[in-house]
Amino acid sequence: MKIDGVKKIILLGMILLIVAGLVVVALKGFSVALFYKQHEEININVGKEINYKDLKGICDEVFNGKKYEIRMIELFSDSINVRVENTITDEEKNNLINKINEKYETKLEASTLTVNKNANIRIRDLIRPYGKPVCASAITIICYLYLRYRKNEPMKFLYYSFVNIALTELCLASIIAIIRVPVSPLIVNILVLIGVIELLVLTNKKEKELKKA
């Protein structure tokens, strides 16, 4: 297969991007969304209806610069679950409770609240359910494509598709690693979707070739 000048430059750019991505992953790993990595959480029953924006303002002040996530607990919007990157220090816990007491005129005591450690959800546990269906689908699709294009260099098409999809996925993964996009199952699914779309585009192109032939 001949590669012309522009394509050569694009290919070189892609390879450089992948190398850069690999270096970032080797040194710092992927940035994982807070919910999926190890964090600490505290559940606070305020007893009064909580305004999310007010609480966000309080948490911004207390956890200065740290990643955090606020979720409501139960159905009455009077209890919250605050998840914070790494650890919640005693000082942060006290500040949080004091500020909530000030804002909502409550008498919560920091000593009665427990900080729980939440271990990370392992990437392999997230990927686990995909193993069987993705393998089964891939094998079936390869068999179909081989049979469909059996008279038009099927192996070449399969190889070309594989290289294209792999390059695209690796480039996207590198971008995600370099610009520190927090990885979550949603990101993994978007990557899978892009792979499927690319396969459809390649198949469509091949169908047109077949039609012309």
Residues that bind another protein (CB under 8 A): 43, 69-75, 81, 116-121, 125, 128-130, 132-133, 136-137, 140-141, 144-145, 148, 185-186, 189-190, 193, 196-197, 199-200, 203-204, 207-208, 211
CB of 69 to another protein, least distance (A): 6
Residue 206 CA from chain centroid, whole number: 32
Between residues 83 and 93, which has the closer beta carbon with respect to another protein?
Answer: 83
117, two tokens: 């450690």
CB of 1 to another protein, least distance (A): 23
CB of 126 to another protein, least distance (A): 8
In order of 9, 82, 88, 108, 109, the CA distances from 112 in angstroms are 62, 16, 15, 8, 6
Between residues 109 and 207, which has the closer beta carbon with respect to another protein?
Answer: 207
Query: How many C-beta neighbours within 10 Å does residue 62 have?
Result: 22
Question: Which residues sit opposite 117 in a β-bridge?
Answer: 40
Residue with tokens 């190889």: 159
Question: Which residues sit opposite 69 in a β-bridge?
Answer: 83
17 touches 174 (CB < 8 A): yes
CB of 193 to another protein, least distance (A): 5
208 touches 152 (CB < 8 A): no
Between residues 104 and 130, which has the closer beta carbon with respect to another protein?
Answer: 130
Between residues 22 and 185, which has the closer beta carbon with respect to another protein?
Answer: 185
Say how many CA atoms lie within 13 Å of 58 toward its Cβ: 22
CB of 59 to another protein, least distance (A): 13
Between residues 86 and 189, which has the closer beta carbon with respect to another protein?
Answer: 189
